[in-house]
Structures are given as structure tokens and as C-alpha cells.
Amino acid sequence: MKPPKRLQPLIEAGLIDTVERQLMSGKEAKVYVVRCAGETRCAKVYKEATQRSFRQAVDYTENRKVKNSRQARAISKGTRYGRQAQEAAWQSAEVDALYRLAAAGVRVPRPVNFCDGVLLMELIVDAAGNAAPRLNDVALTPQEACTYHQLLLREVVRMLLAGTVHGDLSEFNILLGDNGPVIIDLPQAVDAAGNNHAARMLLRDVVNLRNFFGRFAPALLATDYGNEIWDLYQRGLLTLDATLTGKFARSKAAVDLQAVIREIDDARAEEAARRLRLAATVPAA
């Protein structure tokens, strides 16, 4: 196919040999299958901020570091330079997260290079060597659902121990590769210790997994792994081999009604976003 304009600089730099086809177009980027040095990889081309349906909510960018104080001031003032710096930081956040999580053994695509707003990375394939489907597009047996649910919970734990919460984890950004599920789409990932919303985001990620896999294995709908995982993390007891039961004894202290209302509002907003995401994500022909 004719190379998109955004990929032309990488072709000229020798980072990409040929562009084979567009793989998908999502809320934040377009992804292409490319050939690089004899290997098939994918190139994620980030959309401009005005073209994305996923907004850089302050909840996600809280406590993110920028290169220098000048950038920090510009971002806080909302200047043109500040918006450019914020956009660059949003894109590089995924690159940083991929390298960090890959080093920690998390099941994510292996990053290869990042240049001019384009992320080159490993292409996740299925058993037949084709581009792996999203989990949302796969029908599972009850046993498969339980197996993948447990595997992904361990990946959530592994990410948390690496100091990261995905923040938007669902069946829409998990690929089912030949060796099992692989987690993708990490520009909104947050610092588990430095972001005040990390606990809420982790709980939402785990609930999303429970609700999806619960469609195929209804017994999972009665579990509460999110609160259990976060409680162990807060108490310094979370390890990769920690026994997770899916049960959590809630405190009998007075209920914070405002917090409950916020959780309900967040759940409604998340459901609306999921519907928008499903409608906006158009696979390439």
C-alpha cells in the first residue's frame, strides 16, 4: 500500500522498509503492519489530540514528570508550547510503560523504536501467524474464561509490583496471541504510588476483566479480586505468588456517600466510553 505521510520519515530513515496494510483504527491511533529489517512488526501512529476520542483527563496525567520546569510551566498555563509538550509526554508515556513492563515480565508487545509520534513494536500474532484478535472478538469456553481471567489477574499484579496501573484495561485492549493474552494500549497508564486515583483505576480494570469473563463463566461475577489485590499492595504483602481468593472483607466503618456517588458516576462514564470505543474502533478492510 502507499505509505501514509506520517510513516514516510521512518521509511527515509531506514526504520521501516515497506508498509503492508492498515491493521486497525482506534480512538487514539492507527496501527499498520510494516516490514522492518526482514521482520513483520506494527507501527502505531498516534492521532493528534483533537482527533482522539480518548481525552487526557487530569486523573491520568497527575504527577507525570516532564523534561524540565519550562515545560511544566507551559503545560500548566496551557500555552501552545505547553500543549505540544503535553502531547509528546502523553505519547512517550506508552513507550516508557512498555519498556518498563516488558522488563518486569509483563505480557506486553516488545517495543522496538519511537520516532516522530510513531511507535514501532512487536506484532502479536495468533497460532496461524495472523494478527492476533482482540479479546472482545473471541468466544470462550467457561474453562478458557477462567484460565485467561487468572492469567490476566497475575499480569495486573505484576504491573502493580512494577509501579504501574493500566487505567483503561478491558477486553478491547487485550490481544489473544498464540501464547495467550497480551496487554496493549498504555498511554494512560498511571504511577501506582504517585497518582491519587490509582486505586480507583485498578479496581475498575479488575471489574472490567470480571465482567467480561463473567459472560462465559458466571461464577466469576461474585468475585472481588480488585479490592483484595489493592489491600495486599497497600499493606506491603502483595507478591507474584500471593494466594488470591477473590474474596474481600469490607470495613464496617461509616460509608462515605460522596465517594459512593463518585464511583457510580465513574461507572456510568466508563460504560458510555466503552460504547463509544466499540462504535469508533473500525477494523481495516
Q: 266 catalytic, yes or no? A: no
Q: Tell me the CA end-to-end span of the chain in Å, nearest whole number.
A: 13
The C-alpha cell at 279 is: 462504535
Q: Work out the widest C-alpha separation in the chain, in whole angstroms.
A: 63
CA 241/CA 263 separation, integer angstroms: 30
**Side-chain half-sphere CA neighbours of 104 within 13 A:** 20
Place of cell 516488545: 110
Q: Which residues pair with 46 in a beta bridge?
A: 29
The C-alpha cell at 196 is: 491519587
CB 135 within 8 A of CB 87: no
Amino acid at 177: G
CB 175 within 8 A of CB 135: yes
In a 10 Å sphere around its CB, with 0-12 CB exposed, 13-18 middle and 19+ buried, how is residue 207 labelled?
Answer: buried
Report how far Cα 276 is from the mean position of its chain's Cα atoms: 17
Q: 168 catalytic, yes or no? A: yes
181 sits in which H/E element = strand 180-183
Among candidate residues 96, 126, 178, 185, the one labeled active-site is 185
CA 118/CA 46 separation, integer angstroms: 6
The C-alpha cell at 250 is: 469490607
Among candidate residues 168, 191, 231, 265, the one labeled active-site is 168
State the Cα angle at 49 between 64 and 276, rounded to 5°. 100
Phi-psi region of 196 (alpha: psi -120 to 50; beta: other; left: phi over 0): alpha
Active site residues: 168, 185
